Amino acid sequence: MKVTAAVFEGVGKDLSIQELELEDPKAGEVQVRLAAAGVCHSDYHVVKGEWEASGPLVLGHEGAGVVEKVGPGVENVQVGDHVVLSWLPYCGHCSYCIKGRPALCPRVLETAYANLMADGTTRLSRAGEPVYSYLTTGAFADVVVVPASGAVPIRKDAPLDRVALIGCAVATGVGAVTKTANVRPGDTVLIIGCGGVGLSAVMGAALVSAGEIIAVDLSDESLERAKALGATATVNPGRDSVPEVVRSIVGEDGVDWAFEAIGLKPTLEQAYELTKPGGTTVVVGQSADGVTVEVSPMMMSDREKSLIGSNYGSCHPAVDFPRLVDLYMQGKLDLDQLISRRSSINEINEAFAAMGSRQSGRTIITY
């Protein structure tokens, strides 16, 4: 069938809106007609050339829609189901999956990170030439074919243009706080970076009744969103010293938990600096290729300060996505506050330009 998609051809080139050919789903695959897709910084890393990826490639990995077809052997969804897309095509039976850590599944390396389906091919083509789906998702297209584990069924009364954000930003940010870190009530929390993931981390901290929740960002508009989502204090490093403000609130030792949601060397190191003895810094933001950080191993051992990573909020999509949808529908997660702009697929390049100018909140592409 014919689909309309935004195609990445190479760094320095605008994405172009093209008509592509989409094959029917094969065994273990699902066809979904999308209602909405979010524009994430991970897509922007590719556009800017910070992550290597070869075109032609349909970007986008955060979306929601309705199942149109299922391939042989698919049992988790059926035609007509409403689903949130997951870019994590895990196998379900390796040691990591059995332990409930599908983000570490080897299949993710072979499929999502290679922009390929499980059989090593792609379902998209253009005049006979293969076109690849970013993270095995390719959500900047009105219809997609994804692995069955990448289509998570949810309740049908949830608005698809809001819950689409659960597929990346919300699962990553909320999960980093509630699953990777397991923040406890009263713990002090610092969140550096208030994009979609950072704001979701603020929501997660408020959800578990953290104590002080300090949000840091260069955008005052983003900081206002953070306040609306539960931040107890905000800092704009363009005007104020982050260490001074944080220590004036929680004391000289620093915070129990510091979440870095940008992926930059200076902010990663600052997050670690502001973590108290016995506390933990959580690396949530995705950095450009080649970024490294410097920390003192003596500080780690002598003051028992931990530095850990969080991929996809340590979530299990089949379990956690429906729960996050329920929390939204119950008014406990304000996904609406994350959205600042709605666009059509024809405005995808404007959406990336807005991201580059530090737009507050997420752009939602609606189909």
- 337: which 2 tokens? 């506050």
pLDDT average, residue stretch 153-176: 97
Active site residue 105: no
Q: Which of the following is catalytic: 41, 42, 105, 360?
A: 42
Domain ranges of the chain: 2-169+314-366, 181-309
CATH 3.40.50.720 is the classification of domain 181-309: yes
- For residue 316, indicate whether it is catalytic: no
Q: Above pLDDT 90, what percent of the chain?
A: 86
Under the banding of pLDDT at 50, 70 and 90, the label for residue 19 is: very high
The burial of 306, by beta-carbon neighbours within 10 Å (0-12 exposed, 13-18 middle, 19 or more buried), is given as middle
Overall average pLDDT of the 45-67 stretch: 91
Percent of the chain past pLDDT 70, that is, above it, reads 100
Give yes or no for residue 358 having a pLDDT over 80.
no
**Pair 216, 194: CB distance under 8 Å:** yes
* CB distance 155 to 325 below 8 Å: yes
d(CA 347, CA 345): 5
Q: Which of 251, 249, 191, 265 is nearest to 225 (CA)?
A: 191
d(CA 120, CA 139): 19
Residue 63 has pLDDT above 80, yes or no: yes
Q: What does pTM read for this prediction?
A: 0.94
The predicted structure's pLDDT at residue 42: 86
Tokens 């030792």, located at residue: 253
Question: Side-chain half-sphere of 267: how many Cα atoms within 13 Å?
Answer: 24
Bigger pLDDT: 100 vs 213: 213
Q: Is the pLDDT of residue 116 over 90?
A: yes
Per annotation, catalytic residue among 41, 45, 82, 316: 45
Lowest mean pLDDT segment, chosen from 77-81, 146-150, 273-277, 294-298 = 294-298
Per the structure block, which two tokens stand in for 43?
């897509």
Give the mean pLDDT of 235-250. Answer: 97
The more confident residue out of 10 and 72 is 72
Q: Is 194 tagged catalytic? A: no
Is the pLDDT score of 281 beyond 90? yes
Geometric angle at alpha carbon 22, from 21 and 24, rounded to 5°: 140
Q: Tokens in use for 307?
A: 């530095």
Closest by CA to 365, choosing from 41, 208, 142, 92, is 142
Check if 168 is active-site.
Answer: yes
Confidence of residue 355 (pLDDT cuts 50, 70, 90): confident
Average pLDDT, the chain: 94
- 42 catalytic? Reply is yes
Indicate whether 160 pLDDT > 80. yes
Can you tell me the distance from the alpha carbon of 199 to that of 201, in angstroms, rounded to the nearest whole number? 5
Name the DSSP letter for residue 338: G
Residue 167 is predicted with a pLDDT of 96
Strand order in the sheet with 189-192: 233-235, 213-216, 189-192, 255-260, 275-283, 306-309
Of 3.20.20.120, 1.20.58.410, 3.90.180.10, 1.10.150.120, which CATH number belongs to 2-169+314-366? 3.90.180.10
Please count the CA atoms within 13 angstroms of the CA of 56 that sit on its side-chain side.
20
Q: Which of 41, 61, 82, 316 is catalytic?
A: 61
The Cα–Cα gap between 272 and 279 comes to 9
**Catalytic position from the list 105, 168, 194, 315:** 168
Hey, what are 345's tokens? Answer: 């697929």
Q: Is a pLDDT exceeding 90 seen at residue 311?
A: yes
Confidence of residue 271 (pLDDT cuts 50, 70, 90): very high
**Range with lowest mean pLDDT among 41-45, 83-87, 114-118, 125-129:** 41-45
CA-to-CA distance for 196 and 168, rounded, in angstroms? 9
